[in-house]
Amino acid sequence: MTGALDGFRIIDFSQVIAGPLSARILADQGADVIKVEPPTGDILRHMGGIAGLSPTFATTNRSKRSLVLDIKKPGGLAALKKLVAGADVFIQNARPGAADRMGVGEKTLREINPRLIYVSVSGFGESGPYAGKRVYDPIIQGMSGMCEVQGGPAGPPGLVRVIVPDKVTALTAAQNITAALLARERTGKGQHLKLAMLDAVIAFIWPEAMAYHTYIADGLPKPKPVARRDLVFETADGYMIASTVALREFQGFARAANKPEWLEDERFQDAAGLVANAKERLEMMAEVLTTRTTADWLAALDAEDVPCGPVLSRDVLHEHPQVRENAILVEDEHPVVGRMRQPRPAERFDDTPSMISRPAPTLSQHADEVLGELGLSADEIAALREEGATK
């Protein structure tokens, strides 16, 4: 069986995470993704690991083919344009204006391929005082409100210690690309898709993090930002998560904790009370949870249908029965780095399955293959190498 995007060709001209991860999602779903890299390769290649295959690069760029093209050389730029002529999507994440200066801007490539979906991923968009700034994930966390949320009501702002903005942007881009391809199937027209990390992350955190700032008309109620402790609770032998958002969940927790007086507490008689008194409710939970082990609490809370789970360390995550039963992580042999573990595609199609179709490529591993598919002879490919346009 083939993947849902079998037959579509994606040119991944982006680097690091947001653009490449969006392309990898499409590759796992069956698209032919050709990663076009400069002679030095994607900078992510060189952040640890061996042979230009850092672990993060390997999982972000699996299922793709790699081709080096130095577009500063006439032969390299000509080869890229030939690739674009037969492509469906072109993804780049250079700062606004840079692609035009390199000769691969949207208008230039549109003349070659009017049906092209041209994707521009940026930090701040194409206008405004920050449009030309260099940007990385932590800067977007700070400017989107994420750091303030993470710091909580009493502490200083804090970073989420995984690159959420990059990944949120990648997921948004992948969905946007498939939507654009669907629209093209209906209209026959390509289009320019522009996506900024700041835009994607503000939209991502808004529903609950910015509830207080959503209704701005006079006279409408505004839910106050909840001043509450973290939802990671200490137990007698470790840590766990427990959530009592709904009234029946809090009542179940009270029964599991053998605290019948909580059921009569006038502060906790409806959902509004649970929200208004969240700080007190969570402090009460935190105090009682320290009295028993994580396993004891999980059994007791599961019996009352209270949402809960253990806090797993990264060292044991792959051993948890839920992870193992669903085969979330897979192991295979990479021809360069050897045995490796990584997550399978999260989605499961019953007719067009997503899959890891090939390991992450070494730099320009597929140059002869891809250039040959463009109709270049062995002598022409050799001439490109002689020019320094490819490797």
Does the structure show a pLDDT above 60 at 238?
A: yes
368 band by pLDDT with thresholds 50, 70 and 90: very high
Rounded CA gap, 89 and 149, in Å? 36
pLDDT of residue 212: 80
pLDDT of residue 230: 74
Average pLDDT over residues 325-342: 94
pLDDT of residue 100: 96
pLDDT digits (tens, 9 = 90+) for 41-74: 999 999 998 899 999 999 999 999 999 999 999 9
Q: Kindly state the helix (H) or strand (E) to which residue 35 belongs, with its residue range.
A: strand 32-37
Does the structure show a pLDDT above 70 at 331?
A: yes
Q: Where are the domains of the chain?
A: 9-205+330-387, 239-310
Does the structure show a pLDDT above 70 at 22?
A: yes
Does the structure show a pLDDT above 60 at 30?
A: yes
Does the structure show a pLDDT above 60 at 228?
A: no
Does the structure show a pLDDT above 80 at 372?
A: yes
Percent of the chain, pLDDT > 90?
A: 87
pLDDT digits (tens, 9 = 90+) for 91-122: 999 999 999 999 999 999 999 999 999 999 99
pLDDT of residue 226: 52
pLDDT digits (tens, 9 = 90+) for 163-214: 999 999 999 999 999 999 999 999 999 999 999 999 999 999 998 888 888 8
**One CATH from 3.30.1540.10, 2.60.40.10, 3.40.50.620, 3.40.50.150 for 239-310:** 3.30.1540.10
Domain covering 9-205+330-387: architecture = 3-Layer(aba) Sandwich (3.40)
pLDDT of residue 214: 83
219 band by pLDDT with thresholds 50, 70 and 90: confident
- The DSSP code sequence of 357-381 is -SPPPPTTTTHHHHHHHTT--HHHH
Question: 209-218, 334-343, 380-389: lowest mean pLDDT where?
Answer: 209-218
Other C-beta atoms closer than 10 Å to the C-beta of 262 total: 19
| Tokens read off for 231 | 């939802």
Residues of the chain by 3-state class (helix, strand, coil), percent to 5: 45, 15, 40
The amino acid that residue 95 corresponds to is R
Percent of the chain, pLDDT > 70?
A: 98
223 band by pLDDT with thresholds 50, 70 and 90: low
CB 301 within 8 A of CB 293: no
pLDDT of residue 229: 62
- Mean per-residue pLDDT of the chain: 94
353 band by pLDDT with thresholds 50, 70 and 90: very high
pLDDT digits (tens, 9 = 90+) for 118-153: 999 999 999 999 999 999 999 999 999 999 888 877
Rounded CA gap, 21 and 121, in Å? 12
216 band by pLDDT with thresholds 50, 70 and 90: confident
Q: Compute the radius of gyration of the chain from its Cα atoms.
A: 25
**DSSP tag of 156:** P
231 band by pLDDT with thresholds 50, 70 and 90: confident
